[in-house]
Amino acid sequence: MKLNIAVLSGDGIGPEVTTQAIKVLKAIASAFNHDFTFTESMVGAIAIDKLGDPLPESTLKLCKSSDAVLFGAIGDPKYDNDPSAKVRPEQGLLKLRKALELYTNIRPVKAYDSLLNLSPLKKERIENTDICIYRELTGGIYFGEKQVSNNGNTASDVCEYSRTEIERITHLAFKAAKTRNKKVTLVDKANVLESSRLWRKVVTEIANEYPEITLDFLFVDNAAMQLILNPKQFDVILTENMFGDIISDEASVIGGSIGLLASASIGDQYALFEPIHGSFPQATNKGIANPIASILSAAMLLEHFKLFKEGQLIKDAVERSLALNITTPDINDDYKLNTTSDIGDFIEDFINNQDDTNVNILNRHLGQSTII
Q: How far is the CB of 244 from ligand IPM (least distance, A)?
A: 8
Q: Which of 90, 188, 235, 342 binds ligand IPM (CB under 6 A)?
A: 90
Instruction: Give the span between the Cα atoms of 133 and 190, in whole angstroms.
Output: 19
CB 137 within 8 A of CB 241: yes
In whole angstroms, the minimum distance from the beta carbon of 132 to Mg ion comes to 16
Residues numbered 238 to 277 that lie near ligand IPM (CB under 6 A) are 245, 276
Binding range to ligand IPM, per CB under 6 A, among 37-45, 88-96, 251-259, 284-292: 88-96
Chain residues 228-267 in contact with Mg ion, contact rule CB under 5 A = 245
With the C-alpha atoms ordered 119, 125, 128, 129, is the resulting torsion angle positive or negative?
negative
C-alpha 256/C-alpha 19 separation (Å) is 23
Binding mask 39-78 for ligand IPM (x = CB under 6 A): ------------------------------------x---
Residue of 132, 126, 113, 73 lying closest to 253 (CA atoms) = 126
Count of C-beta atoms within a 10 Å radius of residue 241: 22
Site string for ligand IPM, 94-113 (x = CB under 6 A): x-------------------
Q: Where in the sequence numbering do the catalytic residues fall?
A: 142, 189, 221, 245, 249
In sequence order, the β-bridge partners of residue 37 are: 4
SS3 100: coil
Q: Rounded to whole angstroms, what are the CA distances from 193 to 142, 161, 185, 219, 232?
A: 16, 11, 18, 11, 27
Number of residues that bind ligand IPM (CB under 6 A): 6
* Cβ(200)–Cβ(217) below 8 Å: yes
State the binding partner of 53 from Mg ion, ligand IPM, none, CB within 5 to 8 A by kind: none
Q: How far is the CB of 245 from Mg ion (least distance, A)?
A: 4
Q: Is 132 in the site for ligand IPM (CB under 6 A)?
A: no
User: How far apart, in whole angstroms, are the C-alpha atoms of residue 44 and residue 15?
Assistant: 12
Binding partner at 93 among ligand IPM, Mg ion, none, C-beta below 5 to 8 Å by kind: ligand IPM
The nearer residue to Mg ion, 245 or 348, going by C-beta atoms, is 245
- Residues near ligand IPM (CB under 6 A) are 75, 90, 93-94, 245, 276
- Residues near Mg ion (CB under 5 A) are 245
